[in-house]
Amino acid sequence: MRRTVMNFRKGQVLLEFGIACFGLVMFIYVLLQAWVWLSGTIVRRQASFQHSRLEAGKRATAGKKVPYRPGRDTPVRFDLF
């Protein structure tokens, strides 16, 4: 096939479309991961609060702090590959 201006443009559009799709997928992935982490910390902290209720109500350990710490117990991870 002869290399024309039109063919060259078609190739470029395809390349741009591919890059844009990849960027879009990556963006949605990062957005979802961030949302999953943020909502997951709320659930885990609530579970931790429930599990430490009995201890927090005892005289010896009254007001025990909620043991869950988001950054340490659930590190932010983006497992891409």
Partner 1 sequence: MRPGNQKGQAMIEFAIIGSTSLLALAFLIQIGLRMNYQQEIEQQTFRLALRRAQDEGDKESQAILYQHIRDREIPEPSSEPTIMPRTSTQASSAVTWGEWLTFLADDRDSQPRVVVHVNDTRADDFRSGDFEGGKEGVKKDAPKDAPLVSAIHNQFTSTGQLTQASGASSLSSSSSASTTVTLKNGKTVSGSASASCSFSGGSWVCDGP
Instruction: Assess 31 for contact with partner 1 (CB under 8 A).
Output: yes
Instruction: Assess 63 for contact with partner 1 (CB under 8 A).
Output: yes
Shortest separation between residue 23's beta carbon and partner 1, angstroms: 9
Chain centroid offset of residue 28 CA: 10
Which two tokens mark 48? 């931790």
Question: Residue 40 half-sphere exposure, CB side, CA atoms within 13 Å?
Answer: 14
Residues near partner 1, by CB under 8 A: 9, 16, 27, 30-31, 34-35, 37-39, 41-42, 45-46, 49, 56-57, 59, 62-66, 70
